[in-house]
């Protein structure tokens, strides 16, 4: 009889467990910076930034220069082109 009570108690506790939601799919236009890493070191003008945006699959792009202040919010659909003082792409990251 004790085993039945314990089994029913365990069954009742598992019914109260929190279920985990399915992982969210990547949004349309999600950034993938891997394909554009070969472009680092190239002159980073407006057409270059647009090329990076297209090749990374991002919906948005921003060109960040050393003197700029930028928000640190993460956006999965944005690629960041970090530009050095001489105008070349220094880093390309998602966010």
CATH classification of the domain holding 73: 3.30.10.10
- The pair of structure tokens assigned to 76 is 């999965």
Question: Residue 30: inside a domain, yes or no?
Answer: yes
Distance between terminal CA atoms of the chain?
59
What is the count of structural domains for the chain? 1
| Antiparallel, parallel or unpaired: β 89-94 and 78-83 | antiparallel
In a domain, 18, yes or no: no
- pTM comes to 0.70
Domain span at 62: 24-94
Task: Specify if 10 maps to a domain.
Answer: no
In this structure, is the dihedral angle defined by the CA atoms of residues 48, 50, 55 and 59, taken in order, positive or negative?
positive
Q: How far apart are CA 63 and CA 52, in angstroms?
A: 10
What is the share, in percent, of the chain residues with pLDDT greater than 70?
74
Say if 19 falls within a structural domain.
no
pLDDT digits (tens, 9 = 90+) for 14-60: 666 666 776 666 567 899 999 999 999 999 999 999 999 999 999 99
- Residue 14 domain-assigned (yes or no): no
Q: In what order do the strands lie in the sheet with 60-64?
A: 60-64, 78-83, 89-94
């Amino acid at each position: 009889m004790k085993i039945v009570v314990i089994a029913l108690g365990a069954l009742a506790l598992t019914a109260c467990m929190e279920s985990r939601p399915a992982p969210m799919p990547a949004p349309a236009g999600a950034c993938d910076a891997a394909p554009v890493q070969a472009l680092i070191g190239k002159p980073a003008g407006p057409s270059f930034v647009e090329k990076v945006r297209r090749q990374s699959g991002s919906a948005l792009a921003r060109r960040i220069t050393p003197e700029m202040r930028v928000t640190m919010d993460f956006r999965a659909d944005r690629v960041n082109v970090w530009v050095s003082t001489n105008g070349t792409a220094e880093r390309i990251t998602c966010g």
